[in-house]
Structure 1
Amino acid sequence: MKTLKALLLKRRSSASSTPGTTARMVVVMTQPTLPSELIEAIIEEVGAKDDITTLKQCALVSKDFVYEAQKVLFRKIDLDRRLPRKKYYQRFHRLLSASPHIGEYVRELHLGDGGEEDFGTDESWITTAKSLPATLQLLPRVEDFSLSFNAELTSWKSLPADLRSSLSALFRRPALQRVALEFITRFPPQLLMALGQVRTLSLSCVEVDALGAVAVDAEYRARWTMRLENLFLRGTSPATIRVIAGALAGARTPTLRRLALTPTFEEGFADAASELITRSGEDLETLEWLPSIHFSASSGTINLALLQQLRTLRFSVSFRKSHVHGPFPEVLRLLDALTGAAPRSPVTHIEIDCHCVRVQSGIGAVWRPLDEMLARAAFAGLAELRVRMCTTTTSAGERACFVEAFQDLLPLLESRGGTRIVLETRTDLPVWCGKE
């Protein structure tokens, strides 16, 4: 990297020298430039290291470097994390208006409000930015888009009409691959169904317009070609889930491979989730049940017996005292359904995220039901059990104690053999591995 910076500074120094003083100077200035493939490789290498300073220097070296550097510099525009958000948006819009070609380079766009600069106000910069529709039109190649109203739930109907129109057009672009929406109410169900054409959809606290949802009939559903492969639902209303399930039901060939659910306490959530799983077809390969660490939630009527292609299960469990029945009741309920569906469960990998871990007397009794469940013959094909401790919810002292205790918590599964048992922190650094 130091060598690259030295080369760049040397080229800038040569370019800034007074021209025409000697014949030799003219020869140096007119030497052939580097091949475009080499320039692209240099820029990509710098971009992979996220070295923004060097990328900016690259953009100043010569016209041969500037476009390749801009492609990396403007590949991702995140207007959700940098504060104040409104100021950074306005700066980006002015740059985009002056140099529209930059819009061709943007592949990721993240919009969010509700940060520290918005506290105490009633307005969102997203809803008040009159130039935002024009900005979206200048970004024709966006593949990854997120819209988050971080402060509070915001009604889709409260957005300006021209902004709703621009967002709707964006959601229907064939180039769009990934969409994340957060804290939105009264979202049009027809537009939600149109998002079934992206590869990855993430909804957090998104509620559809209930009256509009009723009006979505089977004929309307049949118009959409589903491409959805990854679906993440966090705190999403049952009505929203049913709209997605309806879209999957109308799809000629279900494509969903991965489904992650963070349940709510709303009536009908488990039934809606069960319908979604049923409608997803038999091709679902990964299911994640990720309830809140503060409150336990029931999986209710969810049955995994139909998922014959299921290979990976991921669970989130909490050892907080508020979970009076322990951390594993819903995990055991979901696993039990798999043991009765077929002589052998198709699941090969199970991941368990452990929060608020506490090592106390009787910890073996807490883990024994899970050990007995996974030691059943139905889980003989289980290749790996991966247990993660979350470093943000468990102290270093508790983690150290748990590492020592964990070696004796799954004796039946370990003695059966054939299953690799891994304990790690959320930094994905294994700290203990059992026998295979």
Structure 2
Amino acid sequence: MSHIAKTRLTQAQLDAHWMAYSGNRQFKADPRLIVSAEGKYYTDLDGRKIFDGLSGLWTCGLGHSVPSINEAVAKQVKTLDYSPAFQYGHEKSFELAEKITQFMPAELNRVFFTGSGSESVDTALKIARAYWRKKGKGTKVKFIGRAKGYHGASVSGFSVGGIPANRTLYGQGLESYHLPHTQVPGTEFTKGMAEQGKERAEDLVNLITMHDASNIAAVIVEPMSGSAGVIVPPQGYLQRLREICDQHDILLIFDEVITGFGRMGAKTGAEAFDVTPDVITLAKQVTNGVIPMGAAVFKQEIYDTFMEQGGPDYMLEVPHGYTYSAHPIACAAGLASLEEIQQQNLVERVKEMSPIWQDCVHQLRSVSPIISDIRNYGFAAGLTIAPVDNEPAKRPFQIAMSMWDKGYYVRYGADTIQLAPPFTTEKSEMDSLINALGDALQEQH
């Protein structure tokens, strides 16, 4: 049913907005408009309640319209709406930086604020290059990412990213190379981490041999690849990447824009998988999606290198930053969001409820033969859907639209359906979501 007749938007208004990561032609022919959100539900233009099966865009683990966050934002708007990001500061940025370090591995304790996950990745890559120049190794400028990796929409992000549809249209990016992904044949329908696949880390040795460690600044991977459809690392894989980077004097960057602050049933993916990188990039859950904000968190040794070689103390140690770095309103939202996570013990709750979520998701295996794989970890799950008419993205789109009609929002991307419920989701809500998805899958079959 078309909703265009019911919206107050004009066709000119619809046409004016070039939407991000969207099929603009299809959407504008039949808009799916959200008018409000509260708790775990959106309300659409028809007044229907839509269960938020992806926590926004992996952003809103606390649910929507959280009173403490709303109050913190409203108070901050009235007190200090903006503060210059360069050469001057405000108290909340320092408070939030210290709060973030409480969620990080102990060695990572220096926080550089950005406005998004894409900016966080860009910051991490730039500082990695600059760090090696400060260390007298200026040839270390290349990067290694991974197939099916997603690291944002900037030029640097798509360069190290490994999702073909996000790369092919744009031509040459930064010089970078890619590890193979870790979806090994025979690991389909694994619950949690697969036993096979660690050997794919050895491809990093091959890349280093080919291009020489003296030219490589950093390896960047997501601990768990979210946007590619919840690709969980095999047992021992991330540990092996850490060993290889240490052996060859290469920085290891974890992109934790999705996995940070509770989604994995741990404070970070680094904690969940017991591997400490040199840099962690963050965004999304840091403010519960209320205000755009990101950060890159560095080991103190990296920070100290810049401070020690910064010249006179009034000079810039790193000529880098953004107009909205450490925005006062974002900092207020971030402090309130992280306080809620701590006070409600939501990291522990996700860990405790994850086995229940796992069992719910894997019940779908017997529902439809068009499911070729199911993967899960923490409060995240991905399904790979068999293609139809040689169009891998067609069925996931149709499934997601069916789910929307049934009152559930899920993400479709490439040949996958992706799920990431809010941290407070109850078993009955999990069952309802999975039952609806089962019906949508059967409709396709």
TM-score, normalised via structure 1 length: 0.25
Larger radius of gyration: 1
